[in-house]
Every structure is written in C-alpha cells, then in structure tokens.
Amino acid sequence: MTIPTSSERGVPQNSTTGIIEMASLLPLLLSTEQRMGLACTRFVNFIEQDAKST
C-alpha cells in the first residue's frame, strides 16, 4: 500500500504544522484509507458484475 505524499493530499509541503498534523493523524488516515479502499474495491466489483449481467 502506498502512502500519498503531502502534496497529493493537498497539504502544503512547506507547512510544518501540516506535517505535524499529518503525523498525528497518520494511524487514523491509514485505517480510514484501508476501509475506503475495501469499499471502493467492492463497489468496482459490483459495477463490473452489473455491467456483465446486462
């Protein structure tokens, strides 16, 4: 699993407070991203199955 860089997340790279906030939120973000990734995967699978059945 790749972790997006601060610029990809929309956080200014020169913002030290942003980096500190990111570091403190990292465990939360990772768990949320894993859940979102799982949901997205299921959603894509559902769309693909739906497209095949029509």
Residues 5-53 have pLDDT tens digits of 555 555 555 567 777 777 787 787 778 888 888 888 999 999 898 888 8
- Specify whether the CB–CB gap between 16 and 22 falls below 8 A: no
* Domain regions of the chain by residue span: 28-53
Per the model's pLDDT, the better-predicted residue between 37 and 3 turns out to be: 37
Answering whether pTM is above 0.85, one says no
DSSP string spanning 5-48?
PTTTTT--TT-HHHHHHHHHHHHHHHHHHHHHHHHHHHHHHHHH
